[in-house]
Amino acid sequence: MPTALEASPGERLRTLRDLLGLTGADLNRLTKISQSWISQVETGAREPAEDRLRVIAEATDTPMSFFYARPSSVPLDSLRFRKMATASRTVTRRISAFYGEGFRVTEEITGRAHYPAPPLPFASESEIGDDDIEELAAQTRVALRLAADKPIPHLTRALERAGIAVAPIVLPDPTGDSVSPTNKHFGVSYWAGIGETALIAYFPGPQGDRDRFTLAHELGHLVLHTFRPHAVDPEGEANRFAGAFLVPYERAREEMTDRLTLEGFARRKQAWGVSIQALILRGAAVGNIDESRKRSLYVQLTQRGWRKEEPVSVGQEDPLLLWSLLQRQYGDRPYLPASDELAIQPTVLRSIAPQPVSKRPAAEASMPRTDGKVLTFTHRATQSSATLRRAAQ
């Protein structure tokens, strides 16, 4: 029997099905291999025949090396998810498999490149308070070489420069023709600790501010929960960290006051790249906005339809680190040559290490995005610049 660090082709077959969203019946239709054989191999009741594994590999465009690859070193029960309570367990399992493969590949290619591990601060006390989270958020800005009191122009690039890999996750449907919905999942992350690999994965959404908050939230998990895995309220702590990291305390005290109208918050969103709703919560967190005023602002958001679609468009950030390392190691068209050596299904590799926007077809590069250094927050047509200027005066 294989040890925990060795590959089990049966377990890898189950991982492949999870990755691609295939049921046993789906795989049977693709390969004509019986569901009973698939089930017996996956449970270890039967030894896998290599010729059948090869049929599965060809049918799913997966390299044979995948079935013999050492599993990821991530303990999946340690993953931190940013997701809704109603998120599907099946989709969560699939995401766990996707993340595990992404982490395995990230360890491999960053290790080959001798890319530095992240120098993050971390919480070690079993109980921490709001002040501790504010301080750790400030220390994290220092660790990431960010200004102590200014907006973060490109959060993704700041993370990658510090050694934290960032990977978007796009789950293909079983036919590979479209993308499965993941609108109840936002992000997932893991860091083994000092000197080890860290990976934040997220599900790209239509708003850049949501993605930025997800990245900051997952960064909070790395800092707050790597050495405190049994925190009572990890999601609440990560949300508090995200707000404190994106809008530092003193600036929040100065700017997120109870005198701001929603238009004023929209102007602050333009400056900080943080949603109006998150800025209201940040004002409350630093003591500027009481419960009554917060409720009033949220009622106004609902009345204007801004709870679902806020004004001010924040450009979407594109990861670069994993693509750059792949390109360096495998050339300008890295996916096929890398997939066999890294023992990964090419669709998964394309998701976690996408081409930069500048190299994609025009239809894929049409959304407003950042260029790598300076993030420009632009207005949606639903709110005129003149209105927002008047509100800021």
Please write the tens of the pLDDT for every residue from 301-355.
Answer: 999 999 989 999 999 999 999 999 999 999 999 999 999 999 999 888 999 999 9
Ramachandran quadrant class, 369 (left: phi over 0; alpha: psi -120 to 50; beta: rest): beta
Is the confidence at residue 218, as pLDDT, over 80?
Answer: yes
Domain boundaries, the chain: 1-71, 109-253
Q: What is the pTM of this model?
A: 0.86
Report pLDDT digits (tens) over 54-73.
999 999 999 999 999 988 77
Q: pLDDT above 90 covers what percent of the chain? A: 71
CA–CA distances in Å: residue 361 to residues 307, 334, 357? 33, 17, 8
pLDDT band at residue 145, thresholds of 50, 70 and 90?
very high
Q: pLDDT above 70 covers what percent of the chain? A: 82
Kindly state the average pLDDT of the residues 362-387. Answer: 41
The CATH classification number of 1-71 equals 1.10.260.40
pLDDT value at residue 88? 66
Dist CA 214 CA 222 (whole Å): 13
CA-based R_g, the chain, Å? 22
- Do the Cβ atoms of 242 and 82 come closer than 8 Å? no
Dist CA 298 CA 58 (whole Å): 53
Sheet holding 164-168, edge to edge: 80-83, 185-191, 198-202, 164-168
pLDDT band at residue 378, thresholds of 50, 70 and 90?
very low
Is the confidence at residue 112, as pLDDT, over 70?
Answer: yes
